[in-house]
C-alpha cells in the first residue's frame, strides 16, 4: 500500500472505504495482548531483517518522504488563497498549480517505488521464513508427524509466516508513516493556529474511547467468527473427501447432514451481520468525530477570520489537515494490537524452529561398509516417545501434551540376519513387527541395546548411507500426487527407461501400467487413489526394486495381493531379493516358508526362532498360527501356493 493512500484514507473520502483502514488492527484477536512475549524475540526478528537492512532503510526513507509530501498540499492551498487569489497574483497561482502537479507526479513515482521495495522485502522475508521452517520440519522424526495435525503445521507455514511478514511492510510503513504524518500535521496546525487546533483536538477522546470499546468487541467477534468458520470447514472437509462421502452414502442420512451443516452456516451468517454492524459503528464514530471537529474549526475559525485574527487560507488549510488527521490516528490507536499480533506470529514460528529433532545425524558419521550387509539386533528394547518429547502442544490443539509413556513395546530383542539371507518376522497383530522394522530404518532410536549394520551401530551411520543401504516397503505405501514415472524414480532419479521397465516387470505391474492410456505418465491421484490397494503395493515394490538397496524390508508388502499375483510377485521377489539381506514381515505364513530364518514375535519378544521345518516340528505359536491359516485356506479352496 502506498503511503499516500495509506495515510490519506481514513476519512478524507468521507464515504467508501475510508475508515476501514483502521479496522485492520481491530480485526485481530485481542487476546494476543494478554500474551507475554519471550525476551529476545525482538532481537531475533531483527536478525531475520538484517539481510534487508539497506533496502529497509531505502523503504523507510521513501515512507517518510511520502508522508512529508502528502502533508504539504494544505500549505500550498493556504498560499494559493492568501497570497495568490486574495493577493491577485496570477504568476504565483500558476506556479503553485505547477508545484501541485509536480508533487503529484513525484508522489506517484514514490509510491510505486515504495510498493516495489516493500514487496521485495516482504516476499523475501516470507521466502526466507518458509524455506527455513520447511527444512526444519522435514528434519523432524516420523514420531513428530504421527503426533502433529497436518492442518496445524500448514497453517504455521502459511498464516504465521504471512503474519510475521506484515511487521516489515504494512506495520512498519503504517507506524513510521503515520507517526511522521501525525507529527507533521499537528506541528503545522499548532503553528498555523494553536487555539483552533486545541479546540479541534478536544473531540479526540470522544472518538478514541468508543473506538477502543468497539474494537475490543469486534476482535472478540472476529475470533468467534474464525472458530465458527473453522467448524463449518471441518464438516465440509470430513464429508466431502472420498471416504467421508462414501460413509454418508452408505450409512448416513443426507437430510440430517444438510440440516446440521445449515445450522452451522447459520451461525456464520449471524456473526457476519453483527460484525458488519459493529464495523459500521466504528466507521461512523470516526467520520462523526472528524466532522464535528471540522464543525468546531469552521465555527471558531470562521469567527476568528471575520475578526481578522487568522487568514482565510490558514483556516482552509487547518480544516484540510483535520481531515487528514483522524485516519492515521485511528491506525496508531490500534497499533499495539498489530505489533502484538506480529510478535505472536514470530514467536509461533520460532517455537517450531526451536524444536530439536529427536533423531539427529551423528557427527562425525560413518558409512555402512561395502558388500552384503549383516543386520544385528543386540538386546534391543524400545518404547514410543511421549508427545512432549517430539511435538508442540500448540500443533496438536491440546493444552498440555500427554507425558505418559506408551510402555515398552519391544523387550530385549536379539537376533542377527546373515548377509544375503532372508529373515521373516511373523506374529499376531500388534506384536511389534512394524516397530522392529522402523527401528532398523532409524525412524526411531532404540531405547536400549544396539542395532548394527555390518557392525556399525545404526545411529552412527550417516543419513545418506542409511537411505542408500536400506529400502522399505511399508504396510500402507504412499504414492505422491504425481505421475507413475515420477513416483518410481523418486527412489533413483537417474534410472534409465530399461531399468524402470525391468522393475515394473519384476513387480508384476508392467502390464497394467502399459494398459493405462497414459502409461507411465498417468497421474496417481491423492494417496494414489486411482490404483487398487494391490496395484499400489506393486508400484511401491517396483520403486524399491529400482532402488535396489542392500537391505530390503518388506512390511506385509504382498498382503493386498490375491493368491495368484502374490505367488507371481513372490517369485519375482525371490529372484530380486537373492543376494540381498531381507527382512520380510508377513501375515500369510505360506509366503515365507522358504525363509532362511523365521522369527516369531509376540508381545514385543522373540518367542521362537528357526526354519519353517524346525518350527513346525517344535510346535508352539508358529505351528498354531500356521495350522489356523492352513485350515482356513483349505476350506476356502485356496492352496495354489507352493
Ligand atoms: N506411534 C506409536 N505410538 C505409540 N504406540 C505405538 C505406535 N505405533 C505402534 N504402537 C504400539 O506398538 C505396538 C506394536 O505395534 P506394531 O505396529 O509394531 O505391530 P505389528 O506387529 O506391526 O502389528 P500388525 O501385524 O497389525 O501390523 C502396538 O501395541 C501398537 O499399539
Ligand atoms: Mg505392522
Q: What pLDDT, in 10s, does the model give residues 240-259?
A: 777 778 788 888 778 888 88
Residue-number span of the structural domain to which 514 is assigned: 419-434+462-635
Pocket flag, ligand 1, residue 603 (CB < 6 Å)? no
What CATH number is attached to the domain comprising 68?
1.20.1560.10
Q: Do 161 and 262 lie in a common domain?
A: yes
Q: CB–CB of 416/451 below 8 Å?
A: no
**For residues 261 and 474, what is the distance between their CA atoms, to the nearest angstrom?**
38
**For residues 117 and 111, what is the distance between their CA atoms, to the nearest angstrom?**
10
* 480 half-sphere exposure, CB direction, 13 A CA radius: 11
Nearest CA to ligand 1 atom 7: 384
CB atoms within 10 A of CB 80: 23
Report the nearest atom of ligand 1 relative to the CA of 437.
18
**Nearest CA to 282 among 205, 179, 335, 208?**
208
Pocket flag, ligand 1, residue 321 (CB < 6 Å)? no
Q: Do 423 and 313 lie in a common domain?
A: no
**The dihedral sign for the CA sequence 492, 528, 563, 437:** positive
Q: Do 430 and 289 lie in a common domain?
A: no
Q: Do 493 and 630 lie in a common domain?
A: yes
d(CA 258, ligand 2 centre) in Å: 38
Residue 430 domain-assigned (yes or no): yes
Q: Do 612 and 492 lie in a common domain?
A: yes
Nearest CA to ligand 1 atom 29: 430
Q: Do 482 and 338 lie in a common domain?
A: no
Q: CB–CB of 542/506 below 8 Å?
A: yes
Highest-pLDDT range among 93-97, 122-126, 193-197: 93-97
Pocket flag, ligand 1, residue 400 (CB < 6 Å)? no
Q: Do 343 and 428 lie in a common domain?
A: no
Residues in Cβ contact with 135 at an 8 Å cutoff, skipping those fewer than 6 apart: none
Pocket flag, ligand 1, residue 406 (CB < 6 Å)? yes
The H or E element containing residue 58 is helix 53-79
Residue 312 domain-assigned (yes or no): yes
Q: For ligand 2, a single-atom ion, which residues have Cβ within 5 Å?
A: 434
Q: Do 496 and 348 lie in a common domain?
A: no
Pocket flag, ligand 1, residue 430 (CB < 6 Å)? yes
pLDDT category of residue 148 using cuts at 50, 70 and 90: low
pLDDT (tens digit per residue) in 395-411: 655 545 555 556 889 99
The H or E element containing residue 383 is strand 375-383
Pocket flag, ligand 1, residue 431 (CB < 6 Å)? yes
Residue 457 domain-assigned (yes or no): no
If phi over 0 gives left and psi between -120 and 50 gives alpha, with beta otherwise, what is residue 455? Answer: left
Q: What is the mean pLDDT of residues 608-633?
A: 84
Last residue of a domain, one of 302, 326, 354: 354
pLDDT category of residue 418 using cuts at 50, 70 and 90: very high
* Strand partners for 383: 408
Residue 456 domain-assigned (yes or no): no
With a cut of 50, say whether residue 576 has pLDDT above it: yes
The H or E element containing residue 129 is helix 90-138
pLDDT category of residue 632 using cuts at 50, 70 and 90: low
pLDDT category of residue 366 using cuts at 50, 70 and 90: very high
d(CA 436, ligand 1 centre) in Å: 10
pTM of structure: 0.71
Pocket flag, ligand 1, residue 215 (CB < 6 Å)? no
Tell me how far CA of residue 610 lies from CA of 56, 69, 437, 564, 615, in angstroms. 70, 88, 19, 27, 6
**For residues 602 and 353, what is the distance between their CA atoms, to the nearest angstrom?**
39
Q: Do 159 and 248 lie in a common domain?
A: yes
Compute the mean pLDDT over every residue in the chain, rounded to the nearest whole number.
Answer: 80
**Residue-level pLDDT at 512:** 84
**Residue-level pLDDT at 167:** 64
Residue 232 domain-assigned (yes or no): yes
Pocket flag, ligand 1, residue 288 (CB < 6 Å)? no
Residue 402 domain-assigned (yes or no): no
Q: How many domains does the chain have?
A: 2
Pocket flag, ligand 1, residue 435 (CB < 6 Å)? yes
**For residues 151 and 145, what is the distance between their CA atoms, to the nearest angstrom?**
11
Last residue of a domain, one of 334, 354, 374: 354
Q: CB–CB of 542/504 below 8 Å?
A: yes
**For residues 106 and 268, what is the distance between their CA atoms, to the nearest angstrom?**
46
Residue 192 domain-assigned (yes or no): yes
Q: CB–CB of 589/626 below 8 Å?
A: yes
- Name the CA radius of gyration of the chain, rounded: 36
Q: Do 51 and 195 lie in a common domain?
A: yes
**Residue-level pLDDT at 233:** 75
d(CA 555, ligand 2 centre) in Å: 7
What CATH number is attached to the domain comprising 523?
3.40.50.300
Percent share of the chain, pLDDT over 70: 83
Q: Do 343 and 263 lie in a common domain?
A: yes
Last residue of a domain, one of 297, 327, 354: 354
Residue 366 domain-assigned (yes or no): no
**For residues 156 and 445, what is the distance between their CA atoms, to the nearest angstrom?**
27
With a cut of 70, say whether residue 13 has pLDDT above it: no
CB atoms within 10 A of CB 141: 18
* Strand partners for 417: 375
Q: CB–CB of 507/531 below 8 Å?
A: no
pLDDT (tens digit per residue) in 421-467: 999 999 888 899 999 999 999 999 999 999 999 999 999 999 999 98
Q: Do 309 and 426 lie in a common domain?
A: no
Amino acid at each position: 500500500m502506498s503511503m499516500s493512500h495509506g495515510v490519506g484514507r481514513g476519512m478524507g473520502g468521507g464515504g467508501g472505504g475510508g475508515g476501514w483502514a483502521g479496522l485492520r488492527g481491530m480485526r485481530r484477536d485481542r487476546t494476543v495482548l494478554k500474551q507475554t512475549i519471550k525476551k529476545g524475540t525482538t532481537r531475533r526478528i531483527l536478525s531475520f531483517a538484517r539481510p534487508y537492512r539497506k533496502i529497509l532503510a531505502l523503504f523507510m526513507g521513501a515512507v517518510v518522504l511520502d508522508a512529508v509530501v502528502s502533508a504539504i498540499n494544505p500549505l500550498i492551498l493556504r498560499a494559493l488563497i492568501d497570497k495568490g487569489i486574495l493577493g491577485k497574483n496570477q504568476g504565483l497561482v500558476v506556479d503553485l498549480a505547477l508545484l501541485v502537479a509536480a508533487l503529484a507526479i513525484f508522489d506517484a513515482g514514490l509510491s510505486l517505488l515504495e510498493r516495489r521495495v516493500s514487496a521485495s522485502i516482504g516476499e523475501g522475508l516470507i521466502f526466507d521464513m518458509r524455506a527455513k521452517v520447511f527444512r526444519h520440519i522435514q528434519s523432524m522424526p516420523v514420531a513428530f508427524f504421527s503426533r502433529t495435525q497436518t492442518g496445524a503445521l500448514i497453517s504455521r507455514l502459511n498464516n504465521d509466516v504471512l503474519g510475521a511478514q506484515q511487521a516489515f511492510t504494512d506495520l512498519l510503513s503504517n507506524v513510521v508513516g503515520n507517526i511522521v504524518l501525525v507529527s507533521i500535521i499537528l506541528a503545522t496546525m499548532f503553528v498555523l493556529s494553536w487555539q483552533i487546533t486545541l479546540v479541534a483536538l478536544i473531540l479526540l477522546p470522544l472518538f478514541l474511547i468508543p473506538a477502543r470499546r468497539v474494537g475490543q468487541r469486534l476482535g472478540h467477534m472476529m475470533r468467534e467468527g474464525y472458530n465458527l468458520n473453522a467448524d463449518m470447514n471441518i464438516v465440509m472437509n470430513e464429508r466431502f473427501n472420498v471416504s467421508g462421502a462414501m460413509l454418508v452414502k452408505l450409512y448416513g442420512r443426507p437430510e440430517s447432514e444438510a440440516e446440521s451443516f445449515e445450522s452451522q452456516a447459520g451461525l456464520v451468517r449471524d456473526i457476519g451481520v453483527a460484525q458488519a454492524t459493529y464495523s459500521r459503528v466504528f466507521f461512523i464514530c470516526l467520520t462523526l468525530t472528524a466532522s464535528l471537529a471540522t464543525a468546531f474549526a469552521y465555527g471558531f475559525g470562521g469567527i476568528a477570520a471575520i475578526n481578522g485574527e487568522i487568514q482565510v487560507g490558514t483556516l482552509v488549510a487547518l480544516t484540510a489537515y483535520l481531515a487528514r488527521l483522524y485516519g492515521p490516528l485511528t491506525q496508531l490507536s490500534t497499533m499495539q494490537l498489530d505489533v502484538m499480533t506480529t510478535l505472536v506470529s514470530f514467536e509461533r514460528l520460532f517455537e517450531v524452529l526451536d524444536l530439536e529433532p529427536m533423531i539427529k545425524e551423528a557427527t562425525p558419521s560413518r558409512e555402512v561398509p561395502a558388500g552384503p550387509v549383516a543386520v544385528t539386533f543386540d538386546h534391543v528394547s524400545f518404547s514410543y516417545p511421549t508427545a512432549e518429547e517430539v511435538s508442540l502442544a500448540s500443533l496438536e490443539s491440546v493444552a498440555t501434551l500427554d507425558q505418559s509413556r506408551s510402555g515398552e513395546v519391544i523387550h530385549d530383542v536379539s537376533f542377527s540376519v546373515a548377509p544375503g539371507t532372508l529373515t521373516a518376522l511373523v506374529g499376531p497383530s500388534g506384536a511389534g513387527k512394524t516397530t522392529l522394522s522402523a527401528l532398523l530404518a532409524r525412524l526411531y532410536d532404540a531405547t536400549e541395546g544396539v542395532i548394527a549394520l555390518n557392525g556399525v551401530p545404526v545411529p552412527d551411520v550417516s543419513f545418506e548411507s542409511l537411505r542408500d543401504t536400506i529400502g522399505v516397503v511399508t504396510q500402507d505405501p504412499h504414492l505422491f500426487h504425481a505421475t507413475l514415472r515420477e513416483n518410481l524414480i523418486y527412489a533413483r532419479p537417474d534410472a534409465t527407461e530399461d531399468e524402470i521397465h525391468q522393475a515394473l516387470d519384476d513387480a508384476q505391474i508392467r502390464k497394467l501400467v502399459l494398459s493405462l492410456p497414459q502409461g507411465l505418465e498417468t497421474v496417481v491421484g491423492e494417496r494414489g487413489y486411482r490404483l487398487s490397494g494391490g496395484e499400489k503395493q506393486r508400484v511401491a515394490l517396483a520403486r524399491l526394486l529400482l532402488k535396489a538397496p542392500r537391505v530390503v524390508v518388506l512390511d506385509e508388502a504382498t498382503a493386498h495381493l490375491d493368491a495368484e499375483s502374490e505367488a507371481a510377485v513372490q517369485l519375482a521377489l525371490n529372484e530380486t531379493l537373492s543376494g540381498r539381506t531381507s527382512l520380510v514381515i508377513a501375515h500369510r505364513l505360506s509366503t515365507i516358508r522358504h525363509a532362511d530364518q523365521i522369527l516369531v514375535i509376540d508381545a514385543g519378544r522373540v518367542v521362537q526362532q528357526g526354519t519353517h521345518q524346525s518350527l513346525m516340528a517344535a510346535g508352539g505359536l508358529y505351528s498354531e498360527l500356521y495350522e489356523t491359516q492352513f485350515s482356513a485356506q483349505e476350506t476356502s479352496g485356496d492352496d495354489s501356493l507352493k
